[in-house]
A and B are shown apart, each in its own frame.
Chain A
Amino acid sequence: MRSSRGKERLIALVVLAVVLFTPPMVLLFDSPSETGISRLALYLFMAWGLVIALAAWLLEHPSEK
């Protein structure tokens, strides 16, 4: 995390997470699927998992110096 590039990447990830977790995006997925159940929860869990996976990759992967 010492390298500024690593910091920039992490900040970009935070921005991505905020975009994924807040209304414009959330509203987009708040639509009923074929079964009539909203896709929202499924979308949230997938977005959440994606953010965690990216964070893990970013923070554990030693940034090249």
Chain B
Amino acid sequence: MRTDAVVLTVAFGYLALLFVIAAWGDRRAEQGRSLIGSPTVYALSIAVYCTAWTFYGSVGRAAQFGPSFLLIYLGPTLAMLIAPFVIRKMVRIASAQRITSIADFISARYGKSASLGALVAIIALIGITPYIALQLKAITVSHAVLVNYPLAAEASIADESFWADKSFWVALVLAVFIILFGTRHLDASERHEGMVAAIAFESIIKLVAFLSVGIFTLFVMFNGPGDLFARVAATPELAGALSLDAVPGGATGWVGMLVLAMLAFITLPRQFQVMVVENVDERHIKRASWLFPLYLLAINVLVIPIAMAGMLLMSNGTDPDSFVLTLPLSAGLGGLPLLVFIGGLSAATSMVIVETIALSTMVSNQLVMPLLLRSRLLHLGSRGQLAGWLLGIRRVAIVLILLLGYLYHALIGDSYSLVTIGLVSFAAACQFAPAMLIGMYWRGATRDGAGLGLIAGTLIWAWTLLIPGFAQSGWLDAGFLEQGPWGLEWLRPYALFGLDTLDIYSHSLLWSLSANVGLLVGISLFSRQTPLEQTQAALFTEAMHPGLVQTTLWQGKTTRGELRALLDRYLGAGATARVFAGGPAASVSTAEPPPRDDQPASSALIARAEQALSGALGNASARVLINSLVRGEALDMESILSILDTTSETLEVNRRLEQKSSELARASEELRAANERLRELDRLKDEFVAMVSHELRTPLTSIRAFAEILRDSHALPEEKRVHFLDVVVLESQRLSRLIEEILDLARLESGRLTLEPQRLDLVALARHSVDAVHRLQENRGVVLEVAIEVDRAQVIGDPDRLEQVIINLLDNAGKFADHDAPRVRLRLYRHKTHYRLAVEDNGPGIAEDERERVFEKFHQIQRPGESADKTRGRPRGSGLGLPISRGIIAHLGGRLWVENASFLGGACLVMELPEAPSISSEEAQQE
């Protein structure tokens, strides 16, 4: 099972599978059915963070330094928690400015400075190449362990020549892969969907492989975690391995490592590539900010058991870095070690792929292109030719970077342990953090400050980590580590200025970041920004500002023909056509003839051209090219000012003004509404007065008429006289009742109605009221049904007033019941904590929209289908009864409304009063 042929077949078969997945991913992307348009795939692609260093090195680190390996993953967890702020802003900036790498990002922030971009690219190249070497070394070592076990791995590596080294061939295959899937289009800001799909797949493989070993170790080699840790506890030299004492640098070393991992996670070129450049949708960040930490947790949760098992079971000579492989090998398994090898291979290859793409973009756009642009040679290139050149440069860069990594591994890689190289690279990447993060939030950071900070930080990093590393590999005389160079003790690399209490990484990080940040801030405070720098600073710091407008910065001083020629040379005909076709101008111009090539190019077109060039060549080169073409005052000062304006405090002031004016508008709206309400009330008052006068005049007129008749006609028969006097008395009664009602209403409305609320039984009151109207209703032929469903209904109310309401309701119902067979029904029942008294009739009912109007003063319901004649036979109401009733009920804390009658089908007036709070029997007796 473990023959070389099998291992090689599986390994290269796995690589072939990656090609298939990537090709499939690219194909789906072309069809518009993206494979990677999901937050889960995004989170998995971020897991490119877990390299072979995680896969093999975590166990090694746990075995040597206890829980400190976790810091490498807790740092990114913290970084991912703030991703919805920081990474989202980076994604927003990158997509607006077509940024393709971290070097491009920093160069664009500081006024599209070519020199700054080149500096970042060089630092990345120096700092990261060893990391690539580390991955190749991991492949070589793991292969050797797999094939040679139980012999030591070194036995075969030492006398191997490079063509027998598997990692050389893996690197070659990877070069082909990266060229195929990483440089398909010239525009590096376009996504490499196939590549990302393959990376996500690799992340799954490495997780599965690692978990398999862990589970195998825990549950097959041991009887679960209890058994393992019991045996660890029984071994004295292992028991202390998990405490903080095992962590280099103790508590300060702990914090230093956490900061290092957190910053490196954001600034490593491959992380920038997958998190920012390859981000498809800003919203994916949200899911990834907890899913990716979960992935880290999963891949780390079994590290300690494996490390402990390795230390318990393996002989002292075994390298802890290869416990993951040697444990299943020692158990005599064939398949599992192979799976582990593939897992390690996937971890290594995914890192190499992404890192190489990121580095090659930097090398071609930030190092080679600016140089080529300076030489006259390139300007002679003919149509579309340079586009091919550009891709060629990038492909050569890929091969060179991989070759460099391989050479590093082949020549000096053996002298370092895996972890050392990884952390040295981390510390190098951290140098980008100040220029990036401070630049994203502080507008005042200048190019000079950033550049000097970067240089100083990197020099200190090299002196405190890189060069001592060389010395320890035996390349330099290691004496200066102890005595300092030229006998200068304060320059000792591991104890700069005599600071020797920290571990080497915290020490290096402290000094290099201090110098870096110090110079960045200090120099920025005392230097001036160019207009372009100011604009870019504003665009970066205010990227999340909703009011930010991406105005075009160029003034049209060139012709379309010249622009087309430039784009043709660098991007090829296809991309050029897209730039010229894009934008709003295209849709408008269908009716007009297309603009001719000798017409001046619009500033929008120039901006689009610059963006397209930025995506392919980097910001700095694009600016140089556009500058060479656009004559005269190229930058439009007015647009620059407008950008600065939109983002400056004036906008804040504007926002506040807007808020104030909206408040003002709201207040005036309220005033207007109040005014209208007042007018309405005034109108109602006038109406009321008119109504009252009218209502009062009617009985008064008849009283007066009959009184006059009685006065003037002395010869009236006795019987007629009595009748007339009756009428006068009746009308006077009506008049006084009306006046009484009006007074009630006035008191109600002014709030001066005096009620005497007391505890009473609504049942008794209802019966009493029914008795009062019974005779009258009987006379009118009204059938009165009473359905009282409760025994007692304790409410608080004024008995006289309540009776007045109930009688009024019954009276009204009688009036509006069916003409021929009038029926009225009173129902008293309990509803939750209330008692309801419903009075319904079998009349025509009240239309939905009339229901509230019956409570208006003097509202008389017109009975449909009945002539005025017929109604005259019935007693008329004043139109004040219901409004008064409602007022009284409202005063008592209840409600009165109209609904559909459920039994008789006419109108139903419901009066609802809350149940009186229960009182103790004693109090009840007192009452």
Contacts and interface: CB of A to CB of B under 8 A. Distances in A.
A45 to B, nearest CB: 6
Contact of A36 (B74, B82, B239, B290): B239
Nearest to B67: A41
A38 to B, nearest CB: 4
16 contacts: A7-B85, A13-B81, A14-B81, A17-B77, A27-B251, A38-B66, A38-B240, A40-B243, A41-B70, A44-B70, A45-B301, A48-B74, A51-B81, A52-B294, A56-B291, A59-B84
Interface string B736-772: 0000000000000000000000000000000000000
Given A22-B258, A30-B244, A38-B242, A48 B230 contact: no
Q: Which 3 A-B pairs have the closest CB atoms?
A: A38-B243, A35-B233, A55-B290
Contact of A56 (B84, B255, B290): B290
B404 interface: no
B286 interface: yes
A32 B293 contact: no
User: Which secondary structure characterizes the binding site on chain B?
Assistant: helix
Contact of B242 (A21, A37, A51, A55): A37
Interface string B571-601: 0000000000000000000000000000000
A30 B77 contact: no
A30 B84 contact: no
Given A38-B242, A38-B243, A51-B81, 14 more contacts: A10-B85, A22-B254, A27-B244, A32-B239, A35-B232, A37-B242, A44-B70, A48-B293, A49-B297, A52-B297, A56-B290, A59-B84, A59-B290, A60-B290
A14 B233 CA distance: 35
Contacts of A14: 78, 81-82
A10 B77 CA distance: 13
Contacts of A52: 77, 290, 293-294, 297
B250 to A, nearest CB: 9
A26 B251 contact: yes
Contacts of A17: 77-78, 81
Interface in A42-65: 44-45, 48-49, 51-52, 55-56, 59-60
Given A37-B233, A51-B81, A23 B290 contact: no
Nearest to A24: B251
Contacts of A60: 287, 290
B304 interface: yes
A26 B74 CA distance: 13
Interface residues of A, number: 30
Nearest to B73: A48
Interface in B225-257: 229-230, 232-233, 239-240, 242-244, 251, 254-255
Contacts of B85: 7, 10
B289 interface: yes
Nearest to B300: A45
A10 B291 CA distance: 15
B47 to A, nearest CB: 14
Contact of A35 (B229, B240, B286): B229
A59 to B, nearest CB: 5
A26 B244 contact: yes
Contact of A55 (B70, B81, B229, B230): B81
Nearest to B291: A56
Contacts of B229: 35, 37
A32 B82 contact: no
B84 A10 contact: yes
Contacts of A26: 244, 251, 254
Given A23-B254, A37-B232, A37-B242, A51 B293 contact: yes
A17 B229 CA distance: 28
Contact of A10 (B81, B232, B251, B293): B81
A13 B81 CA distance: 8
B23 to A, nearest CB: 34
Nearest to B82: A14
B69 to A, nearest CB: 10
Contacts of B74: 21, 44, 48
Contacts of B77: 17, 21, 48, 51-52
Given A14-B82, A55-B289, A21 B240 contact: no
**In this complex, which of A14, A21, A60 has the most chain B Cβ atoms within 10 angstroms of its Cβ?**
A21
A36 B242 CA distance: 10
Given A48-B297, A55-B290, A35 B242 contact: no
A56 B254 CA distance: 26
B504 to A, nearest CB: 19
A51 to B, nearest CB: 7
Nearest to A31: B243
Nearest to B259: A22
A14 B258 CA distance: 14
Contacts of B232: 35, 37
Contact of B289 (A18, A22, A59): A59
Contacts of A49: 297
Contacts of B78: 14, 17-18, 21
Given A1-B84, A49-B297, A44 B67 contact: yes
B293 A55 contact: yes
B81 A23 contact: no
A21 B75 CA distance: 9
A56 B294 CA distance: 10
Contacts of B297: 45, 48-49, 52
Interface string B292-326: 01100100010010000000000000000000000
A27 B82 CA distance: 25
B304 A41 contact: yes
**In this complex, which of A1, A56, A59 has the most chain B Cβ atoms within 10 angstroms of its Cβ?**
A59
A6 B927 CA distance: 58
B127 to A, nearest CB: 26
